[in-house]
Every structure is written in C-alpha cells, then in structure tokens.
Amino acid sequence: MRVFSSALLQARLGGVLRGDADKKITSAASLENARADQLSFVVGQKFLQKASQSDAGLLIATQAMADQLDRDCLIVANPHAVFAQAVVLLHPAPLPASGIHPSAIIAEDAHIGADVRIGAAVVVERGAHIGTGTVLGAQCHVGAHARIGAHALLHPRVTVLHGCELGQRVILHAGCVIGADGFGLAWEDDHWSKVPQVGRVILGDDVEVGANTTIDRGALDDTVIEAGVKLDNQIQIAHNCHIGRHTAIAACVGIAGSTRIGAYCQIGGAAMIIGHLEICDRVTVSAGSFVAKDIKSPGIYTSVQPLMAHEDWKRNAAHLRHLDALSKRIRALERTAPNQANNKEPR
C-alpha cells in the first residue's frame, strides 16, 4: 500500500492545498464510501451535499466548489482529470516481475529493449521489436516483425500479429487482437474465396484499446488508429479503417471496412457504422445509432427510436411500412391542389 501526505500529493499533482498538509492518504474512493485516509473528488453543484457529508480526508475540487465546503481540499481547474492522476499514484497497476519469465519464448533475432518486463508463456516471434520499458503480460503473443514502442503496457493474452506497429505508451487490455485478417471475400462461381489481407495495423502514441476489442489489418493499405484514440471493450474495427486522433469510442461499436472517422469524435456504445463512409472531425454519435451515410458537419447525430410499450411499437411499425405509399399520395395531392384552386369560379 502506498501512503502519501496531502502535501506530497499536491507536489505531484499541482493545485493549491487547503487544510492539513501532513494528513496521510492511502487510496481513492467515492464520496459516499470514502474514509478519513482516502481521497475523492467533487464536480458540480449536484454533488455538493454528498461532498459535505463525505468522510474523505481530502477532496479534489474547483475553487468555486471548495469555497462552499468546510473541508480539506486540493483546489485545481479540472478535478476529474487530476483525480485520475491521483488514482494512478495511489493504485499502481500490478506488473510482471522484472526481466523475462523463464517460460517465455523469444526469437533469437527479436529486439528486446532495456527494462522490459515479459510475463509467463509470452511468445515474441522473429524480427519483432519491443521498446524500452514495455510490459508484456502473461500469454501475450507478438507476431513476426511487429514493433511495439517504448513504455507500452500489454495486459495478459493480448495478440499483436505480424507486421503491426504500436506507438509509445500504448495500452492494450486483456484479450484484444491487433492485426487479425479483415473480412475479405470474393464470390467465385458458387462459393466464397478468401482475399488475402496484406496490410497492417498502425496504432499511434497513447492509444488505449479495451478488452476483447479487435482491429483488423488492412486488405492492401493499413488500418490506422491515430494518437490518443481511446477504444472501449468489445469493439470491432474492420480492415482499412482510419480513426483520427483523440477520438473516443464506447463499447460494442461495430465499424465496417474502409470507414474514415475524424479527430475528436465521440461514438456512443453499440453504434453501428457501415463501410466506406467519411465522418468529419468533432462529431458525436449517440449510443445505439445506425450511421448509413457520410457526416460532413460537426455536431451531435442520433438515429435511435425512443423506447415504447411493445403494443405501441407494433402499431407504429405498421404505419412505417406504409410511409412510402403515403408520401406518394401527399405529393400527388400537392400537385393537384394548385390546379383545383385555379379552376374555382370567383364568388
């Protein structure tokens, strides 16, 4: 267990400390459950009462919130972001032991940088490059000539297949697969023939990929995930996709092949995006939405039908089947209405 004084936390995190500089902080917790030796944070007026009643020994807050609290506070501009940094200090991730586990299988010509940690049953194939300070958890597989940058963290059972490249400080969570074959098929007479997938996957610096997410290699060109992109668990990104920097994508999203998503986008959980689309920078797609055409202007886009009682849904669905016919009837009426008005005799 790590123990920090309030003053040491302030020195590491920045901000202005108000209160007991010698108070010992051992961990982080929610406002509701924090103890006197724990740290929490408060954002927004709706959490003010919980903060005032919390037993937390130290609160991270803005100046405006701290002025309303008679509590020890670390005053910062962005409490949520600083709290995240504090959690890293107080709750360091468990790492494999230093060095290379005896059960790991490392190709003779693989490059292993300084201070690399390699866990049990890891396989690193020929010509692979593992950068300085990188951690490979148990049972990870790094394919031939794959390159992993410095200070990356691969949790257990991550697969990085041949030729793929990862930047610095990349985090890959358990079970994710980088560089599986894309769904390339050609119809030949009466059956499907596999189209070889010869591109790679390129991940930029500071990319994070969630557990069991899959990113397919390109068919000919590369699949590219730019710097700072954050991907949640169980996402499917198909071959030849390109995702711009600092975009965040929530769980269970499916993105079909050759789609380009811009920078600073946010894609809500379970959204589905068909292939060969262009989505510009700074677009937000609501959870569960179906994206079937290009998005050329920044903004928030939603295509979710609101939840309703099943019987109401059935009635509405019945009307939806007739929308095209109703639209044609309305257009016909609009064409005839002016003529009828012109044919009326004056009173």
Q: Which residues are catalytic?
A: 239
Residue 321: per-residue pLDDT: 86
Q: Within this chain, do residues 108 and 82 fall inside the same structural domain, yes or no?
A: no
Residue 251: per-residue pLDDT: 98
Instruction: Specify if 292 maps to a domain.
Output: yes
pTM score: 0.88
Residue 304: per-residue pLDDT: 82
Domain that holds residue 12: 4-90
Q: Within this chain, do residues 229 and 287 fall inside the same structural domain, yes or no?
A: yes
Q: Within this chain, do residues 288 and 330 fall inside the same structural domain, yes or no?
A: no
Task: Using 70 as the pLDDT threshold, list the residues of the chain that sit under it.
Answer: 338-347
- Split into its structural domains, the chain has a count of 3
Q: Within this chain, do residues 103 and 245 fall inside the same structural domain, yes or no?
A: yes
Instruction: Specify if 306 maps to a domain.
Output: no
Residue 85: per-residue pLDDT: 96
Instruction: Specify if 229 maps to a domain.
Output: yes
Instruction: Specify if 126 maps to a domain.
Output: yes
Using a 10 angstrom Cβ sphere, with 0-12 exposed, 13-18 middle and 19 or more buried, the burial of residue 207 is buried
Residue 203: per-residue pLDDT: 98
Q: Within this chain, do residues 262 and 231 fall inside the same structural domain, yes or no?
A: yes
